[in-house]
Amino acid sequence: MSGSLEAVRPAGPLQGLRTWWTMLKICLEERLVYRGDFALGTLMRFLPIVTQVFLWTAVFGATSRGDIAGYTRNDIVAYYLLTMLTRAFSSMPGLAGGIARSVRDGSVKKFLIQPVDYVSFLLAARVAHKLVYYAVAAIPFALVFFLCRSYFPPVPDATTIAAFLLSLALSFLLGFFMEVTLGMLGFWFMEVSSIVFGYMLVQYLLSGHMFPIDLLKGTPTGIAGVSLADVVHWLPFEYTAYFSSAVWLGKVKGAQLVSSLAIEAGWVVVMAVACRVAWWRGTRRYSAFGG
Amino acid sequence: MHNTDPAAAAPVAEPIIRVEGLAKEYRVFDKPEGLAASVRALFHRTSRVVQAVKGVDLTVGRGEFVALLGPNGAGKTTLLKLLSGIITPTRGTATVLGHVPWERADDFRRRFALVMGQRNQLWWDLPAAESFRLHQEIYRIDPARFEKTRDELVDLLGVRKLILQPVRELSLGERMKLELVAALLHEPEVLFLDEPTIGLDVVAQHTIHEFLRDVQRRRWMTVVLTTHYMKDVAALCERVVVITRGDILYDGSLAEIVDRFTTHKIVTLDFDEAPDRSVIARFGFPCEFRGPQVVLRIDRSRIADVLPGILGSAGVRDVSVEDVPLEEIVAELFRSDARAAAVAEASR
């Protein structure tokens, strides 16, 4: 039918972007159906911080030192609050599990049949998810940060703020691509929840979610002159929590800031490629064995 | 202007789907019963190879409406999955619209659609209109053309007022109609339907039949459908492919299947009052008495000879002569194939 050929719009350079924009809008509408879930969830997420603050107050109470690994008590509180903010960008609740489920229940087939890219679609869905989350979470976040303003050092200069924002954007992409790659393992394993659990555990320890990575500076690795913090610095995890907070608090500066941003960007590229490869190999396997 | 060339009067349809020696094998792992056996299976799993499709040859021309029939597990859905590129074959080749389906080229994917009766493509929490809009983008449908096609399709199915309602609030039949609209928006040249009327009421089935027939003719679309409902087949398909155990058992016209696989016709006689059974039994055909009605199964070759005699019996008010229902023919076809398989198995 020649008619259907006329009906196809030519693929301009903007076509991909247009498609993505439509996906984003539709994902936004879908997310808004569930906006109620977020409101309560956001406030609840601040609760663990209270325990952390108590813990560190006790730690500082037991020592005569004014700082631990360069962090004063105020710094520590500010650090945890900033980490919350970074994780609001980098954490991807349900992403890996959702991908694995779509493989298990077969709904991933849609992306084999239709001329649409699964990873782009997931990205649109996640951006929508985050945007709706920020819209709902902005007020509780602002409230908590305002109440805790005395813990924070003075607002840093414009360059630091720019680096901070860039690191947040990259942490979103890094978290996204890491979880997508993890979810794609669903093509090989029926259930990825234990793998995701293991990942979360490593993530919790090495991302700086549990404590500032600076605390690992004194931990030897067995290689002369190399601390555990040096190793973690080259891994992707700390860029999903520790790094942005450290930037805002002025712990990472100058050349080190630039090289750290470069490492973060490098990991984004690596994981973006990894998730593509996993998709490509996974769908090949899926086609060969299941369907 | 008259064209006297007989070949031009009945042009050979351009082949759209070509399948040669297509086979798909799966390795399935046996899941033993019981806890102890399950623990053993952690270390040693037994597997076997299931041949879902074994060396199928098939050619479908443009504009054909083909039914794939077969018992559960015969390989119908596997064949559709192969043709739509979801799975890769173990052996053999296939092209659809000149593309190898499992290469999944975008150019191919823009030209066909697959609708599975038991699977949703529409966004569950959003009105169908939103899913349609997404399809417009991913299939790159010209906006004016999109609106025209969409309006045409929703009007044909009478679902215009449903497209603004969240899909989860709709009934199964309504959802299926909207699934069909979504699948046809990009005017696919080839449509694969996997049990599109499963679980639907008679009215919805009928609406969908009319709709599919209408759209298929208008667009000269090639359609391959799997179904368990003979009503679907009778309403839509001229060509029937019967698949059992991964093999094509029959490929031909619907009329021929009746011709080839039935030996008798169903003759229904209405009497003024319940007839004397011995009189009817005298004719020597299997018969069934339903009060004043008698149903006879008469050999097709003898029908012309014996019918006058039967009609001569006292008190016959009305008569009808019908083919054996399609359901029965197909069921018998499946049964005899299963028996043949059992015999072959036993003789090995």
How large is the ipTM?
0.81
Residues of B in contact with A291 (CB under 8 A): 78, 81, 86-87
Count structural domains, chain A: 1
The chain A residue lying nearest B106, using CA atoms, is A115
The values of phi and psi at residue B285, to 5°, are -110, 150
* In-domain check, residue A7: no
* A209 CA: distance to closest CA in chain B (Å): 34
Which residues of chain A register pLDDT less than 70? 1-13, 35-40, 290-291
* In-domain check, residue A4: no
Among all chains, which residue has been given the structure tokens 């860039």? Answer: A166
Return the CATH fold of B14-258.
Rossmann fold (3.40.50)
The chain A residue lying nearest B137, using CA atoms, is A19
**The pLDDT of residue B1:** 40
* In-domain check, residue A157: yes
Structure tokens at B165: 């309602």
* In-domain check, residue A10: no
| Contact map slice: A 12-51 vs B, CB within 8 A | 15, 18-19, 22-23, 26, 29-30, 33
Structure tokens at A46: 């601040």
The chain A residue lying nearest B149, using CA atoms, is A7
* In-domain check, residue A9: no
- A110 to B121: CB separation less than 8 angstroms, yes or no: yes
Residues of A in contact with B141 (CB under 8 A): 7-9
* In-domain check, residue A1: no
* B191 CA: distance to closest CA in chain A (Å): 12
Instruction: Provide the angle, in degrees to the nearest 10, between the axes of the packed helices A35-45 and A118-147.
Output: 50
Instruction: Give the residue among A125, A152, A160 at the shortest CA–CA distance from A252.
Output: A160
* In-domain check, residue A82: yes
**The pLDDT of residue A53:** 80
Best of B137, B141, B190 to disrupt the A interface by mutation (most A CBs within 10 Å)? B137
The values of phi and psi at residue A156, to 5°, are -70, 175
pLDDT by 10s per residue, chain B, length 348: 444 444 444 455 789 999 999 999 988 877 777 888 778 777 777 788 888 999 999 999 999 999 999 888 889 999 999 999 999 999 999 999 999 999 999 999 999 999 988 778 899 889 999 999 999 999 999 999 999 999 999 999 999 999 999 999 999 999 999 999 999 999 999 999 999 998 899 999 999 999 999 999 999 999 999 988 888 898 999 999 999 889 998 999 988 888 888 888 899 988 888 888 887 887 778 888 888 888 988 888 888 888 888 888 778 888 888 888 888 888 888 888 888 878 777 776
d(CA B223, CA B113): 10
- B145 to A106: CB separation less than 8 angstroms, yes or no: no
- A26 to B81: CB separation less than 8 angstroms, yes or no: no
Decide: B89 and B166 in contact? Cβ < 8 Å. no
Residue A34, domain extent: 15-289
Residue range(s) occupied by CATH 3.30.70.260 in chain B: 263-323
How far, rounded to the nearest angstrom, does the alpha carbon of residue A160 sit from its chain's CA centroid?
20
Best of B77, B84, B139, B192 to disrupt the A interface by mutation (most A CBs within 10 Å)? B139
Candidate from A7, A114, A287 with C-beta closest to B109: A114
The domain B263-323: what is its CATH number?
A: 3.30.70.260
**The pLDDT of residue B42:** 76
**The pLDDT of residue A4:** 43
Four-CA torsion A60, A251, A240, A55, nearest 10 degrees: 0
Candidate from B87, B110, B130 with C-beta closest to A29: B130
Candidate from B86, B134, B141 with C-beta closest to A291: B86
